[in-house]
Amino acid sequence: MKILLVHPEFPITYWGFQYALPFTGAGAMLPPLGLITVAALLPQGWELRLADLNVRPLEDDAIRWADAVFVGGMLVQKDSMHAVMARARALDTRVVVGGPAPTTSPSEFAGADLIVEGEIEERIPELVAALEAPRGQVRLISKSKRTPSMLLSPTPRFDLLQLTDYDCMSIQMSRGCPYRCEFCDIIEIYGRVPRIKSTEQVLAEFEALRALGWHGGVFVVDDNFIGNRPAVKKLLPEVIAFQERHGYPFDFATEASVNLAEDDELVAQMVAAGFTQVFVGIESPSPEALQATQKTQNLRIDLLAAVEKLSTAGLEVMAGFILGFDQDGPEVFEAQRAYIQASPIPIAMAGLLMALPETQLWRRLVREDRLRGRSTGDQFGRPNFEPSLDEETLVAGYAKLLGQLYEPAAYYARCEAHVMRAQPVPGGSKIRFMDLVRLLKVMWVVGVVRPRRRHFWKLLFKTLRKARHNLRRAIVLTVMGEHMIRYTEDHVLPRLAQSVAEIRAERAAEAASAARKPRREVALLPAAARTAEVVGA
């Protein structure tokens, strides 16, 4: 059987770093790890091809070649998924959909021949049987009641990738998170018991990448890298040994809960293993909001001190922040700005709260009759529920906050705070050829052409004087900043301004409609009747 694996297109987003890619020469930040993992599970005799629409367009001939098209993605990729499905149907090619979006919203993919919910490791025979059966009505492979062991997950088919298409590779060491954050869909999809691959599996994936010639960034896409701390502490010494044997070919980044900062041993192990970046969910400096959203792990730690500790150890902290909790008042915007600007957090991902399908938050809002509709995964429009805070205040305040965070002086100040603080890390100061190429591009584009050039030169010269070991960090942060600043200015702020205008127009229309309604004719009623009417109202 011939299978075409299609990775749908992402719209321009903060996470896509599309404006940074011209500096790197890559077409996309990350490869489609889910699809190449599925590819490794399929029968060995099947012919497989991969098409990543974030790198190049999909040709009709590729669809005609295939017996079936596999499409997997997230909610934010839904429009592209539907476009691929429509093209495959037009060419009479069977379509299989899977991934987070079909798992949480299967009804939105009724145009597929086969919908796969949840994880696939234990259900390949069911998938194969469905593909070999005659085509008929839409079939659903429902989510299993149990989560499969990660020991069943094979080394992804990295060989299907053109490695030069990507700025960074990705691997997965574990799935699941032990916490109970109300807004999170990860625990609904992958469960609250973290499952981890064996040391042998992880090292085999490293070796597969190294054998293909990959040297550079590797993003560990785990939901919470430290969800199973004992297992991670057992794994990391082997990762350190691998890195030392091969001259630190990889720079790792990952996601973890911010209470990582409480574990000095684990932080030291991660740095020694070559981790240089970690994304943490801080969400809010408000204890009331954190308590209500069940992110209680953040209440047991000084959030500012935690970030400073991780940054000093050599881990660049990227952080997520959310606005729109029921506990948020008009003061939340300045509280978020003050916390972020006081922290060495260059990349601060602030977004409006969205109710994702089948989360605890979603179910609560349904009970409270506050849900407006399904989330598209877009945090830069209006909330998909009725917020407690006045909606215009929320959206306008959010827009102002983003403008403040990605004003060039503010962004570069946070970069400087990290670069001056971060200690040297193994392999972190090594300048590769591509780093030099990137530096030359940055020096011309940012240092000469862009209006923010003075901030760049200030960071560069200060780094060369006081923290030369972090020159590579300064270059990377400059490149990332180009995306964050341009995307904020050119896309996000205009869209939020449009949302504010929509809210005002709706309110004006409601007020005009109310004004046109006839007033109640109470003046002609006898006084006793008017009194009775008022009392009964």
Instruction: Say how far apart CA 409 and CA 404 lie, in whole Å.
Output: 9
Domain ranges across the chain: 2-141, 168-486
* Amino acid 428: pLDDT: 67
* Per-position DSSP letters for 142-182, written without gaps between them: PPPSSPPPGGGPPPP-GGGS-GGGBSSEEE-SEE--S---T
Strand runs labelled E in 55-135: 68-72, 94-98, 114-116
- Cβ atoms within 10 Å of 152's Cβ, excluding its own: 15
Beta pairing partners, 97: 71, 115
Using one digit for the tens of pLDDT, what is the confidence trace for 240-288? 999 999 999 999 999 999 999 999 999 999 999 999 999 999 999 999 9
Q: In a 3-state reduction of DSSP, which class is residue 371?
A: strand
Using one digit for the tens of pLDDT, what is the confidence trace for 30-75? 999 999 999 999 999 999 999 999 999 999 999 999 999 999 999 9
Total residues found in the chain within this entry: 537
Q: What is the pTM of this model?
A: 0.92
Give the pairing of strands 195-196 and 174-175.
antiparallel
Q: What is the CATH code of the structural domain delimited by 168-486? A: 3.80.30.20
Q: 140-145: which pairs have CB atoms within 8 A and are 24 or more residues apart?
A: 140/106, 140/114, 140/115, 141/114, 141/115, 141/116, 141/117, 142/117, 142/118, 143/103, 143/117, 143/118, 144/118, 144/119
Instruction: Say how far apart CA 177 and CA 442 lie, in whole Å.
Output: 38
SS3 labels along 460-482: HHHHHHHCHHHHHHHHHHHHHHH
Residue 174 to residues 39, 199, 216, 241: CA-CA distances in angstroms?
19, 11, 21, 20
Closest CA to 428 of 473, 490, 377, 482: 473
According to DSSP, residue 423 is labeled: P
pLDDT in tens, the chain (537 residues): 999 999 999 999 999 999 999 999 999 999 999 999 999 999 999 999 999 999 999 999 999 999 999 999 999 999 999 999 999 999 999 999 999 999 999 999 999 999 999 999 999 999 999 999 888 877 888 888 889 999 999 999 999 999 999 999 999 999 999 999 999 999 999 999 999 999 999 999 999 999 999 999 999 999 999 999 999 999 999 999 999 999 999 999 999 999 999 999 999 999 999 999 999 999 999 999 999 999 999 999 999 999 999 999 999 999 999 999 999 999 999 999 999 999 999 999 999 999 999 999 999 999 999 999 887 767 778 999 999 999 999 999 999 999 999 999 999 999 999 999 999 999 765 666 667 777 888 888 998 988 999 999 999 999 999 999 999 999 999 999 999 999 999 999 999 999 999 999 999 999 998 888 776 544 444 444 333 333 333
* Amino acid 375: pLDDT: 76
According to DSSP, residue 298 is labeled: G
* Amino acid 520: pLDDT: 57
* Amino acid 529: pLDDT: 39
Q: What is the CATH code of the structural domain delimited by 2-141? A: 3.40.50.280
The two tokens of residue 427 are: 């392999």
* Amino acid 526: pLDDT: 45
H-type helices in 66-111, by residue range?
A: 78-90, 100-104
Q: In a 3-state reduction of DSSP, which class is residue 353?
A: coil
Strand runs labelled E in 8-93: 47-52, 68-72
